[in-house]
Structure 1
């Protein structure tokens, strides 16, 4: 089987599994479902690769970082999730709630 057909099969399996998961979340865990971010664009994924490469992978240059195609496929379905952090005490001060986005899109 050529690589492109294998990649297409993998992408189809990932999409099927993702849609099954999100349908379950929508029905059984709507608050978690609501935290999912929209799909990431290819430009957003490339930007994430660039930022990670600059900060962690090769901070002094070197080979570019490319995420595995299966991860890119998943991010094209969902760019990540948003989390609401609840107040916590830090140094005796109560910090307020804040939302944190984890992912590449949205």
Structure 2
């Protein structure tokens, strides 16, 4: 299933079961805004990330597991600059995708934040886990082991979990009385 199809399933389910969260989603980003991120990163984005931002332009409330709030493309570029400035001395330049370690790598792309000490990032280093998603602690400057193999896998899992009430990874979705989505371990 494509990024756009999964995102449409997520937004339909949120509109029905968590309308307050659905109202906090931003419209799809313009292609020029996504291309601007490529200019900042100095590299082309994979199709998955391009489709992500042209489907979901960001959010103002946690909608992804762990309580991640999707970044707008400009927010991703800003976070990338900051983590590169603060933690840009690792992992090793030749290390393969999915290998955790201390420091930020220029081939990491932040796509969401928990608003506290963690970002969800895509690992674009070469290797068999190219495109995997992992948590990055910007407080400690640590890249954790991957939580999902790809953005497609995570969004498909989120869509399934929201539609069926089942888990996605370690997380379960709940809705507050006010119609806000909350992810619980």
Band of TM-score, shorter chain: 0.5 to 0.7
Residue in 2 that maps onto 1:74: 52
Query: Following TM superposition, where does structure 1 have runs of at least 4 consecutive aligned residues deviating by more than 4 angstroms?
Result: none
Q: Does 1:38 align with 2:38?
A: no
* TM value normalised by structure 1: 0.54
Counterparts of 1:53-68 in structure 2, within 5 Å, are: 53=41, 64-68=42-46
Unpaired segments ≥5 residues, structure 1? 1-9, 54-63, 85-99
Q: Does 1:18 align with 2:7?
A: yes
When residues 76 and 42 of structure 1 are mapped into structure 2, their CA distance, relative to the original with a 3 A threshold, is same
Which has the larger share of strand?
A: 2
Q: 1:101: Cα distance to partner? A: 8.1
C-alpha distance in structure 2 between counterparts of 1:77 and 1:83, whole Å: 17
| Structure showing greater relative contact order (alpha-carbon pairs closer than 8 Å, 6 or more residues apart) | 1
Unpaired segments ≥5 residues, structure 2? 63-68, 75-185
Structure 2 residue corresponding to 1:50, chosen from 39, 53, 65: 39
C-alpha distance in structure 2 between counterparts of 1:101 and 1:72, whole Å: 14
When residues 16 and 83 of structure 1 are mapped into structure 2, their CA distance, relative to the original with a 3 A threshold, is closer
Aligned residue pairs total 68
Which has the larger share of helix?
A: 1
- Residues 22-51 of structure 1 show CA distances to partners (whole Å, capped at 9, x for unaligned) of 100011111111111111111000112223
Residue in 2 that maps onto 1:102: 71
Counterparts of 1:83-94 in structure 2, within 5 Å, are: 83=61
Q: Is the 8 A contact 2:24 2:60 kept in 1?
A: yes
